[in-house]
Amino acid sequence: MLANTPFRIIEVLGSCQVGTVWSAVDVQGRPLTVAVLTAGNDARWRDAFAAAANSPDQPRPGPPFLYADFTAAEPWVACPADDGPGAERIFLSLGQQYRPVAPGTGETPAANAAPTAVDGPPADGTADAIIAPGPWTTPPQQPVSPSPSHPGPAADRPTSGGPVSGPPVSSPPVSGQPFAYGSPVSGPPVSSPPISGQPFAHGGPRTPMPDMEDPFTSPVRRIQPVPPKPRRTGRWITIAVVIGVLVAGSGAFAWQWALGGDESPEGVLQPTAAAESASASASVPVPPPRAPGIEPPKAGEWPGAWPRFTPTDRIRTLTGLEGVGFTLKIPMSWQCVLDGRGAGFTRYRCGLAAGDDLQTGGELIVRDCPDGCPKDRQTTMRQAEEAWGLQWIGAGPTAAYAESSTLQIDGEQQYGLVVVAFWRGGSEGAIDRQVVLRMTAPVDGAGQLRRVANYVRDTTLF
């Protein structure tokens, strides 16, 4: 059982590669869903989990969660179990493939499990959202420190150590001091088993939770964001936001962007050893967007006036792109490099570079969309994409785009285009994959981005 929490666990609702989701009820009788990060021994996942939980971009109004403990050996977040996505939204926003279980078939906590209390007040934890700053938004609010909570009853200290990462497990972990929704708080990391105390709820004075009977008894390294470099890094636009966590966790990728560099037979630059190491990970955490698109998409259609590649254009054809599943055509002066690879996730950076800065181009992302890729999942995945705060425009039943010629990047006017679409990438004929194209260029270079977008649409038939 989760120790010293204001709720009781009922049964498991589903899982993903890095965590589980449980149903629960609090002392006020409110139904909850609880997300538990089983990969809590990875600092990058802990920070990405906290950032996703604290993201204000969510389908329901009000606080993102009711209770949370980001300092536990396996951090957890408790959300209201009302209509719409529950705690599983946190894993979905991290690009995970959430697998629900049928109602009534999930495992339940052991009947004789009891919370374990420890003496002394809880140690301050950390829940800093690790979102790299972007030039188009205001900086995040400064974190504040919480008031000390009431000490819990005295008992022996738990002897279990920290968790190990692996496949999702069905039993919830021992947790540390939970706290209610508010601004993220900061403090020194805790390497020993977390200290627990009495939890408190959102709003109002914090008082010790009363003892209650369990009505559901059943027989069954801290990492820092990378600061912007003193050069024209604004041209990376959303690349700095979306890969900020990865850059901070594994070091900056030394990409071979020089146009005179070695090129593979397919026209794709080879990533460095650091990139290959990151690609070998089980999955890649992606932080929430700083400025997602405005929902719902306005009624519209794909722009028929956008230019296409012609036989006279000097273009490069990229075949066999790992994890993409389709051929890509780009201008001859562009290059593509593998920027991240995980389970059901592939990202390339493509464009025209000058030194270390990308002058024109951006990201090409392909993700799996499992379980039939229903409409609500498509909406959730689209909401997780950076779109500079622009209005989404519908471009068919499974696609939307947003564009602007007035983006201000490092004091310069830029054109930005982002396309999110879902297509049939497998042999079953069902929609099962997502493609994201997010790129910027000088205003007079908009035609290059539109040609690439048109080719991707013609190839994937979204």
Dump the DSSP string for 413-462: EEEEEEEEEEE--SSSSS--EEEEEEEEEEGGGHHHHHHHHHHHHHHHT-
Residue 66: what pLDDT?
86
Q: Which residue has the higher pLDDT, 172 or 95?
A: 95
Output the pTM of the full model: 0.46
Give domain status of residue 54, yes or no.
yes
Instruction: Read off the pLDDT band of 219 (50, 70, 90).
Output: very low
The reply to whether 216 and 242 lie within a common domain is no
Cα 51 to the chain's mean position, in Å?
A: 8
The reply to whether 218 and 239 lie within a common domain is no
Residue 314 in this model has a pLDDT that exceeds 50: yes
Amino acid identity for residue 193 in this structure: P
Task: Indicate the average pLDDT of the chain.
Answer: 70
Please enumerate, as own/partner, the contacts of 353-358 that have beta carbons within 8 Å and a separation of 24 or more. 353/257, 353/258, 353/259, 355/257, 356/231, 356/255, 356/257, 357/231, 357/232, 357/233, 357/235, 357/236, 358/235, 358/236, 358/239, 358/257
Give domain status of residue 111, yes or no.
yes
Instruction: Read off the pLDDT band of 222 (50, 70, 90).
Output: very low
Write out pLDDT tens, residues 390-404: 999 999 999 999 999
Rounded to an integer, what distance in angstroms lies between the CA atom of residue 113 and that of residue 170?
A: 14
SS3 273: helix
Rounded to an integer, what distance in angstroms lies between the CA atom of residue 90 and that of residue 380?
A: 10
The reply to whether 193 and 324 lie within a common domain is no
Give domain status of residue 349, yes or no.
yes
Mean pLDDT of 97-121: 56
Q: Lowest-pLDDT range, 34-43, 66-75, 162-171, 402-411?
A: 162-171
Mean pLDDT of 85-105: 83
Give domain status of residue 287, yes or no.
yes
Question: Which residues have CB under 8 Å from 257's CB, separation 6+?
Answer: 269, 335, 337, 353, 355, 356, 358
Residue 81: what pLDDT?
83
The reply to whether 337 and 453 lie within a common domain is yes
Domain span holding position 417: 233-460
- Which residue, 198, 222, 246, sits at the end of a domain? 222
